[in-house]
Structure formats: C-alpha cells, structure tokens
Amino acid sequence: MHRITLIPGDGIGPEVTSAAVKVIEAAGVSVEWESFVIGAEAIARYGEPLPQPLIESISRNKVALKGPVGTPIASGFASVNVALRKKFDLYANLRPVKNIPGLKTKFDNVDLVIVRENTEDLYSGLEHVVVPGVVESLKIITEKASSRIARFAFEYARKKGRSRVTAVHKANIMKLSDGLFLDCFRQVARDYPDIQSDDIIVDNACMQLVMRPEKYDVLLLENLYGDIVSDLAAGLVGGLGVVPGANIGEHGAIFEAVHGSAPDIAGKNIANPTALIKSAILMLEHINEVDAASRINKALEEQLAEGQVLTRDLGGTATTTEFTDALISRLKG
C-alpha cells in the first residue's frame, strides 16, 4: 500500500485528478490518498493558500499527484505551484514530449524531453517598485542551481539511453546570468563524455523546434524559458491536454500536467485527462510500480491511436468521464 498526497487543485483539476485516481485503482495499485485543498479554496478554509497539513503530508509521503491550481493575475496570492516547488526544493521539472501513435499532429517524430530549472530565475518573486511607474524584477541564477540541474539532465540522459543534451539560453544578451548557466552546463558536460552536448539561443531554438523538432533530444532550460518552451513543445504533439510533467528533488517529487486549470472549460466534464494520467504514469514509475505504469501507458496509447473515444481538444466528442471509463474497461478487459 502506497500513501500518496493528492492535490485535486481547481478549475479542471478535480475532474482530471479524479480520472487519474480511478485509472490507478483500476490498474490494481493500492494507494491510500491524502487529499488537500490548495490556493483560493485553502484561503477560504485555512486562511492561507498553502495549508500546513498539506506541507506535512508531502514531507511524510515524499510523493504527490497534483492537479492544476489557478493563480490570480497581477494581484492576489503568489503562485502556490511555484511555492510548492520551492518549499520542497523540487529543482528539476521534467516534461517528456513525445508523439502519441495515431494522434494526427503536424509532426510524427517528436521525442524530446524538457528539463527545466524549477527554483530560481525570474520566478524568484523578487519584484519591487523602484519609483512609481518603474518596477524591477530580479533574475537570480546561481552556480549551485545551474550545475545541479545540468547534472540532473545528463544523469537522466544516461539513465534513459538518450544521446544529447542541448542547453537553451540567451547568453548573448544576458551575459552574466545566462552566461553562468551556460558555463555550469559546459563544466558538467565534461563529466559525461558518453553524452553529446551543445547549446542554442532560445529564440532560434523556438524557430527550430517548430520546423524540425525531431532534431532535439534532451533540452535543458532555465525556469522562464523552460515554462514557455514546454508549452510550445506540447503544441507539437497534440497540445496541453497530452503532456505530462514531474517536479523532482532530492527529498520528494510532485507529479502534475503541464497545463493549467483551464477555467474556460472547468466543470463541463470535457477536459482531457490524458496529461494527468501520463503524469500519474511517471509517478508510478517513480514509486516502482513499473508494471502498472506500463499497462496504463499501453491502454492509453491504444485508446488514443484507435481514435474512437477522444475528448474534444483531440477532435473527439467524449466527455472526461467517458474517456476515463473507456480506458478503465480497456485496462480491465
């Protein structure tokens, strides 16, 4: 029996997390879920967006499955997503982006992995008004964080049999900050002679990615570029509804989709749960439930490839529930 923290989140979060939980159960994995509210809902109940019992649960369990949580724009509380990653020092954000067999997209040979530094850069939240009408937002890049994320990327490449790590940066303009990130990458690369390494400027990388995405293997990015480029990459393989993610640190891991809380479709039972189910597959691999992970993955890929039961974002008409129930029948059948 595994004990796992569950954060349903808001918007489409509860719909897609409940789908993932049902699929995990159907695969025969026994989990005791500890479920918590977060964000606006937690403020209403606990007076703070990141309640202490949730923090304690993740500290104990070391693994969490998380739905998306909305962050108010330009005012209100700071992102709980960023806060959670910082709190548990989940420094590596991993986003595998791969074509799903049978799912028609502009490309059919994308198989890349985005490794995003998760703890610093412009996400440090250090912003202030210098004088009225002038604000300053601080970009923090450290040798420690840059080297450890580079090492994570090379270790990941080695473990997964991947051949190349490409650092994506803007060191031509941000000579000190991105320059340090790039220097650390090059330094760490020396320890991995078996893995190729190169680098590319972020604007060129975006253009190359939408023209020849098959050229890329593992991409290593700072926090902000990683955030933007992973949405771009998701668009190459079917959109935000199908790309999973993991936030990994030395002492814990939180698994969540790349997408947000999608308020435009929340509560309508039409969200695609694939991204969260794929995140759950990464989680099952992480907790050594490799057989269940591979059975769910196979069933999911078959269902998507057959194309009979698809949600609207993928051109189908199935509801979230119908998609999930079909997947569960496939798993059990």
The residues annotated as belonging to the active site are 123, 170, 203, 227, 231
Contact string (CB under 6 A) for ligand NAI, positions 144-183, x = contact: ----------------------------------------
313 binds ligand NAI (CB under 6 A): yes
Measured in whole angstroms, the distance separating CA 192 from the mean position of its chain's CA atoms is: 25
Q: Nearer to ligand NAI by C-beta: 16 or 195?
A: 16
* Member of 240, 254, 283, 299 binding ligand NAI (CB under 6 A): 240
Q: Nearer to ligand NAI by C-beta: 67 or 189?
A: 67
CB of 76 vs ligand NAI, minimal distance in Å: 10
Q: For residues 24 and 320, what is the distance between their CA atoms, to the nearest angstrom?
A: 16
Q: Nearer to ligand NAI by C-beta: 68 or 213?
A: 68
CB of 228 vs ligand NAI, minimal distance in Å: 11
Q: For residues 3 and 43, what is the distance between their CA atoms, to the nearest angstrom?
A: 25
Residues within window 49-108 making contact with ligand NAI, judged by CB under 6 A:
68-71, 81
CB of 71 vs ligand NAI, minimal distance in Å: 4
Q: How many amino acids of this chain bind ligand NAI (CB under 6 A)?
A: 21
Pairing of strands 2-7, 31-35: parallel
* Member of 272, 279, 303, 324 binding ligand NAI (CB under 6 A): 272
CB burial string 294-329: b at 16+ within 10 A, e below: ebbbebbeebbeeeebbbebbebebbbeebbbbbbe
223 binds ligand NAI (CB under 6 A): no
Q: Nearer to ligand NAI by C-beta: 178 or 222?
A: 222
* Member of 256, 299, 303, 323 binding ligand NAI (CB under 6 A): 256
CB of 239 vs ligand NAI, minimal distance in Å: 7
* Member of 259, 278, 295, 330 binding ligand NAI (CB under 6 A): 259
Q: Nearer to ligand NAI by C-beta: 57 or 247?
A: 247
244 binds ligand NAI (CB under 6 A): no
Q: Rule CB under 6 A: which residues touch ligand NAI?
A: 12, 16, 68-71, 81, 240-241, 256, 259-265, 271-272, 275, 313
